Amino acid sequence: MKFVIRPYHMMSLGGYIVEYDFPYRDLIIVNETAEEIKFEIPVFDGSYIEEYEKLGLKVIPVSEHDSYLNLYKKAHAELDALKAKLD
């Protein structure tokens, strides 16, 4: 299945990770480009991270000991700063 992320948007893939042994509890995906990007979901293994990065997406892995909220807010602030520069 494919998912489309809009330009200058971000999302979380926690609900789309289906592998029990996946090394992260969540992935934050950020599209910092002016183009819509299609990517494959669900996430089965770590190779998906490399695929997403090749497509131009910024991938922020969230490990068990990371604060999801802090990582999400930081990525959102960086994306907002990027959008402000473009305006």
Whole-angstrom CA distances from 3 to 6, 17, 50, 78 are 10, 14, 16, 23
Hey, where are the domains in the chain?
2-86
pLDDT digits (tens, 9 = 90+) for 40-85: 999 988 899 999 999 999 999 999 999 999 999 999 999 999 999 9
**Cα separation, 64 vs 41, whole angstroms:** 21
* Whether the predicted pLDDT of 18 surpasses 90: no
Torsional class of 19: left (φ above 0), alpha (ψ -120 to 50), beta (otherwise): beta
Tokens 């802090």 map to which residue? 70
Mean pLDDT of 4-8: 98
pLDDT band at 15 (very low <50, low <70, confident <90, very high): confident
Q: CA dist 69 to 10, 12, 42, 65, Å?
A: 13, 11, 22, 12
Its pTM stands at 0.92
